[in-house]
Structure 1
Amino acid sequence: MALLVAGALFMEILDATVIATAVPAMAESFGVDPVDIGIAISSYILTLAVLIPASGWMADRFGVRRVFLAAIVVFTAASIGCALSPTLPALVVMRVLQGVGGAMMVPVGRLAVLRATTRTELVRAIAYLTWPALTAPVIAPAVGGAIVTYASWRWIFLINVPLGIIGFVVGLRLVRGVDGSRARRPLDWRGLVATAVGVAVLIVSLDGVRTEGTNWLTVGTGVVFAALVLAVAAVHLTRTEHPLLDLTVLKIESFRNTATYGSFYRMLITAVPFLLPLMFQLRFGWSPFVSGLMVIALFAGNILVKPTTTPLMRRFGIRTVIIADGALSVLCFGAIALVDVDTSPVIIAAVLVISGALRSVGFTAYNTLAFADIDSDRLTHANTFHASAQELFSGLGVALGAIALTVSTGVVGGLGWQSGQAFALSFASLGVLMTVVVVGGLLLPSDAGAAVTKPKTSA
């Protein structure tokens, strides 16, 4: 079941990122400017971010199995609609529908896995659920480039069809016995609207950050407005009887640390696949396809280290793993910052393999810690909150990368350095910010996550 949901998550993330490489071809097909295709990307991401908070209520109201299978059907059907879209407006409508399916498919599928998994098996299940978030953004540039080069951009969406059919058939057999007694709590419409507006404004505002020029007044105004709306939403969620998101789960120390420092870690790590292709193309002069192939080294690191992530946490504990991973990530950011045009591609690939391995260990550790101390009756709210935070901070990671590069370009220009040094300064800045994650790890108790990494054995 974990592998099934991992496949669904892979489809969702891939569709959020792979379209970027097909923008010129899609623009030519629809007879519009490339910049106009941006709405097809943002509409999908916005739909995911806005609707994921409602996934927990949907699962409780209609049942995990029913919602998960219906979401696969919607996502697959929308993918066909995207491939057949004759105009850009039609594509946007299909992308929104695709986002509806994705917003229900992955969080509800993860909930099914969590409900069916014992604490002793949680670490392994989380390891399966983690790999798509690590691999999809990394291989998307190469996959998209290959499809657009050798086929048609429409195949970007059609590859979901066989995956969706297989997922539905397998889901019919596997997703059983995960519902229990379904709650009949009413939908918190006020919480949904306030959360949706706040998240949407925040994402749209930060999407305005551009390396070629940014209207900081507009971005700043949007961020402040979003913060105010989200603050109002938080107050409402703490006072209403049936909140959309139960914020009391943040009282659990392990979950709170994941929601704060873990989300910050995710944001920093997500910025890397955004900055690397830009550096390889703009600074090194590599082609998009070659730069995409080099970024796949991150994927290789993810795969190579995956068999060791669970033994590491069982042997040393989640706290030690998070601290060590954060400290080594600081050094890895420094190494990437030192990479230059004359650096051997073998050395560059080796650094990226190490970076990918650290990504895999860190994501798995935080995802395991998130649910280590969550009781079954609070699992739905914890899963919904966690899924919402993952989607939001993954999007913020791209914005952070753009901000780091924009600011670094200005600093480098002011100091009279070579323009290419802006990438080095950007990665160095991310490395400095990674020290916050190390501090967060130090604040964890020594036995954090012990309930799942070192379960007690009965006599």
Structure 2
Amino acid sequence: MRQSRLLPLIIATALFMENMDSTVISTSLPMIAQDLGTDPIALKLALTSYLVSLAIFIPISGWMADKYGAQTIFTAAIGVFMAGSLACAAADSLEGFVFSRFVQGAGGAMMVPVGRLVLLRSVARSEVVQALATLTIPALIGPIIGPPLGGFITEFFHWRWIFFINIPIGILGIVCALMFVPNIKEDDTPPLDIIGFLLTGVGFSLLMLGFSTSGQHLIPGAISLGCTVIGAVSLVLYVFHARRTPYPVLHLSLLKVPTFRASVIGGSLFRIGIGAIPFLLPLMLQVGFGLGPLASGSLTFIGAVGALFMKTMAKRILERTGFRRLLTINAFIGAAFVAANGFFTPETPHWLIMIFLLIGGCFRSLQFTSLNAIGYAEISNREMSYATSLGSALQQVSLSIGVAFGAFVLETAASLNGDRSVTAADFGPAFWAVAAISATSGFVFARLSPTAGAEMSGHKIVKDRPPSAGLGDGMSGR
């Protein structure tokens, strides 16, 4: 009993470390760029290299956990993440910093998905929504304290110190995991799909490398285009390969499950807009508005406060609305708050910016909690590791596309305005473009069944009420 209560908190240690790390770095990007002697926009590579690493190694995270045990992989992953953090602190060039972030991503690829897998296999389906919300509540403390802490350290000490924060947290996570996380493994684990792993690894890495270097950073434009084409071809080849192999590294057949398909496709579209925010927002506040790292972090942390608040209400809201109604309507609301960032100017009162970020954080959190739950509503325990691998890999790709696409629109806007460097006016089109993509996810969710995920949401479908008593369509909960 004690173990079951502690398990979400221990797994949350990994989420806390990863979330705080990403928010701390986002706040410090302009100062890191200045110290490394590069353009701040070039540091989109530091964000995308981490996400690319996740996309490469997440596909085998479920297999590794099944083969060697969840506890073994979880603790080893924390160790790799800590090693990557130390390498980031020691980096003295853009190339070195990008590589160090890639190492961090290799640890994060095993750390968070394996932890989530342990939790999903340990709780009843009716308790999944609450368990996931409980898991992420401690983890959201990271994004709350990360921006102001990163800004404070960067402004008054040195940005390199932000990476040492992960070390004591990681050590605590390893000790607790060795004591309380069960070493769950499968007795009949199939052989690893090495060809599939190579095709997805090459495909994801080159595709995202091509996207993220499209602004002529590190490599010439022709090579960027070549990486994009080769990456896309590799992923197409993997689709044909997956149809012929009995145990593919990514089980694309799971996309035939309606709730999982909506979670992956709709969730990926929604995350493109959300993925751009950690890159665009601090950059706008510091480069566009002229704020310091501490002032910027003192504004952006409020979004995580809204997300933390909403986690306590997600289960009750889902019980009243069901998944389809909530995901559909909330997709457009969440996208609208992403677009609202593009209307901020240097003269916008800070209290007004914080109100928008707070409310936007609430709606995004509600959407993510719902997406993470409904994706596993019709997945068996045996297929859970495959589903977490596929869902998590595509999730990271969408976040990486968000960063790359947001940076591309930002650079394009600056070029069209005749600016040698980005200005405050260039950020509006970038926010509006990624928000438009997020909004399209609402049309995907609208195709869900009214009863989709009812066992998880607790939403009761009224069947005995005559047609005239309801609203007359599936969105009423019928």
TM-score by length of 2: 0.83
Aligned 8 A contact 2:270 2:439 in 1: no
Query: Which residue does 1:223 correspond to in 2?
Result: 228
**Partner Cα distance (2:335, 2:182) in 1:** 43
**Partner Cα distance (2:457, 2:33) in 1:** 50
TM superposition shift of 1:407: 3.6
Aligned 8 A contact 1:268 1:400 in 2: no
Query: Which residue does 1:429 correspond to in 2?
Result: 433
- Residues 153 and 336 of structure 1, relative CA distance in 2, 3 Å threshold: closer
**Cα-to-partner distance string for 1:114-173 (whole Å, 9 max, x where unaligned):** 111110110012223445887756764433232233334443222112211221222123
Give the counterpart of 1:269 among 250, 274, 295: 274
- The yes-or-no answer on 1:161 pairing with 2:167 is yes
Q: CA RMSD in A?
A: 3.4
- Residues 343 and 95 of structure 1, relative CA distance in 2, 3 Å threshold: closer
SS in structure 2 at match of 1:226? helix
Amino acid at match of 1:344: P
Query: Which residue does 1:73 correspond to in 2?
Result: 79
TM superposition shift of 1:372: 1.2
Give the counterpart of 2:64 among 49, 58, 80: 58
Give the counterpart of 2:178 among 172, 176, 186: 172
Give the counterpart of 1:346 among 324, 347, 351: 351
Query: Which residue does 1:47 correspond to in 2?
Result: 53
Query: Which residue does 2:445 correspond to in 1?
Result: 441
- Residues 413 and 38 of structure 1, relative CA distance in 2, 3 Å threshold: closer
Task: Trace 1:21-420 onto structure 2 (pairs within 5 A).
Answer: 33-34=37-38, 44-80=50-86, 83=89, 96-130=102-136, 140-176=146-182, 178-179=184-185, 181-210=186-215, 218-410=223-415, 420=424
TM-score by length of 1: 0.86
Aligned 8 A contact 2:26 2:278 in 1: no
- Residues 34 and 337 of structure 1, relative CA distance in 2, 3 Å threshold: closer
**Partner Cα distance (2:101, 2:218) in 1:** 28
Query: Which residue does 2:466 correspond to in 1?
Result: none
Deviation larger for 123-132 or 185-194: 123-132
Give the counterpart of 1:450 among 432, 437, 454: 454
Query: Which residue does 2:463 correspond to in 1?
Result: none
- Residues 365 and 200 of structure 1, relative CA distance in 2, 3 Å threshold: same
Structure 2 residue runs of 5 or longer lacking an equivalent are 1-6, 461-478
Aligned 8 A contact 1:13 1:132 in 2: no
**Cα-to-partner distance string for 1:177-196 (whole Å, 9 max, x where unaligned):** 643x4333111110011100
SS in structure 1 at match of 2:121? helix
TM superposition shift of 1:358: 1.2
Aligned 8 A contact 2:271 2:398 in 1: yes
**Partner Cα distance (1:396, 1:187) in 2:** 28
Aligned 8 A contact 1:50 1:195 in 2: yes
Aligned 8 A contact 2:307 2:365 in 1: yes
Query: Which residue does 2:465 correspond to in 1?
Result: none
**Partner Cα distance (2:436, 2:265) in 1:** 17
Query: Which residue does 2:474 correspond to in 1?
Result: none
**Partner Cα distance (2:310, 2:115) in 1:** 25
**Cα-to-partner distance string for 1:419-451 (whole Å, 9 max, x where unaligned):** 644322333333333331221121111111112
**Partner Cα distance (2:257, 2:71) in 1:** 28
TM superposition shift of 1:251: 0.7
**Partner Cα distance (1:147, 1:53) in 2:** 35
**Partner Cα distance (1:306, 1:253) in 2:** 25
Deviation larger for 360-369 or 209-218: 209-218
**Partner Cα distance (1:151, 1:317) in 2:** 48
Q: What is the aligned-residue identity percentage?
A: 35
